[in-house]
């Protein structure tokens, strides 16, 4: 299992935008004033989003076009590149599940090894401080493991449990990657086993009609 940071996947895919090239819309200018952010950054965030979920001073939480509810649509200025006078920001990969699949196939072609791939990012959460690693792309593994109907240790049938398998993998790798100047954008995990069918990170997104917090 290879866990790869969103940031290097986005860079490899050329998902950089120079804010100097952005002309903010009236909507972005107004929203930027509300949240206290650069209107050009807000314009880029909106271009990656389908909906603003919460906007407060310093906070802009949106529904990303991929379905993820996240701050700033994942548009990020940290660890983008050396200071060179430009104001570049980095977007999420266009289709992180496809990126994970491509990486998985590429590694198989180069090495003959069948290896699962997770692309991770760090998301803030409601109710709890601090970010935690989550999977935004997955290939070759179950993103979720549905245990409903399985027995517990004492034979009692589990009623509700679905494991956020890829997210827990992403969090584990995130512990090692760090967020500052660790320069460790890929983590190899050995020895993890599973038997559930493969699924994508897109399948993790809870459908709006099942979601009580939109």
Q: Choose which of 12, 20, 108, 192 interacts with a second copy (CB under 8 A).
A: 192
DSSP string, 71-112: EGGG-B-TTS----S--EEEPPPS-HHHHHHHHHHHHHHHH-
Minimum Å gap between C-beta 164 and a second copy is: 3
- Applying CB under 8 A, the span of 14-22, 78-86, 89-97, 100-108 interacting with a second copy comes to 78-86
> Per-residue x/- mask for a second copy, residues 26 to 65, rule CB under 8 A?
----------------------------x-x--x-x----
> Using the 8-state DSSP alphabet, how is residue 44 labeled?
H
Enumerate long-range contacts of 185-194, CB under 8 Å, 24 or more apart: 185/4, 185/5, 185/7, 185/8, 186/2, 186/3, 186/4, 186/5, 186/8, 187/2, 187/3, 188/1, 188/2, 188/3, 189/1, 189/2, 189/3, 190/1, 192/1, 194/141, 194/142, 194/145, 194/165
Task: State which of residues 8, 38, 65, 79 lies at the interface with a second copy (CB under 8 A).
Answer: 79
Binding of a second copy by 86 (CB under 8 A): no
- x/- binding map, residues 103-122, to a second copy, per CB under 8 A? -------------------x
Q: Which stretch binds a second copy (CB under 8 A): 9-17, 43-51, 106-114, 137-145?
A: 137-145
Q: Cβ of residue 82: shortest distance to a second copy, in angstroms?
A: 5
**Contact call for residue 144 and a second copy (CB under 8 A):** yes
What pairing do the DSSP bridges indicate for beta strands 69-71 and 88-90?
Answer: unpaired
How many C-beta atoms lie closer than 10 Å to residue 49's C-beta?
Answer: 22
Residue 133 binds to a second copy (criterion: CB under 8 A): yes
Residue 214 contacts residue 53 (beta carbons within 8 Å)? yes
19 binds a second copy (CB under 8 A): no
What token pair was written down for 69? 């509810």
* Binding of a second copy by 179 (CB under 8 A): yes
The residues that touch a second copy, with contacts defined as CB under 8 A, are 54, 56, 59, 61, 68-69, 77-83, 122, 125-134, 143-145, 147, 150-156, 158-159, 161-165, 167-169, 171-172, 174-175, 178-183, 192, 203-206, 211-214
């Amino acid at each position: 299992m290879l866990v790869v940071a969103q940031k290097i996947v986005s860079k490899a895919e050329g998902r950089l935008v120079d804010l100097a090239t952005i002309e903010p819309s009236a909507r972005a200018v107004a929203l930027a004033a509300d949240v206290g952010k650069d209107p050009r950054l807000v314009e880029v965030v909106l271009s990656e989003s389908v909906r603003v979920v919460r906007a407060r001073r310093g906070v802009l939480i949106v529904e990303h076009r991929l379905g993820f509810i996240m701050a700033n649509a994942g548009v990020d200025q940290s660890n983008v590149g050396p200071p060179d006078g430009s104001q570049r920001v980095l977007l999420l990969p266009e289709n992180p599940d496809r990126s994970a699949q491509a990486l998985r196939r590429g590694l198989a072609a180069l090495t003959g090894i069948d290896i699962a791939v997770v692309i991770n990012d760090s998301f803030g959460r409601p109710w709890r401080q601090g970010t935690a690693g989550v999977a935004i792309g997955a290939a070759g593994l179950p993103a979720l493991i549905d245990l409903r109907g399985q027995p517990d240790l004492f034979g009692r049938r589990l009623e509700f449990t679905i494991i956020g398998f890829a997210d827990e993998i992403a969090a584990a790798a995130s512990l090692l990657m760090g967020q500052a100047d660790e320069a460790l954008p890929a983590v190899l995990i050995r020895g993890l086993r599973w038997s559930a069918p493969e699924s994508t990170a897109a399948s993790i997104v809870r459908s709006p009609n099942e979601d009580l917090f939109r």
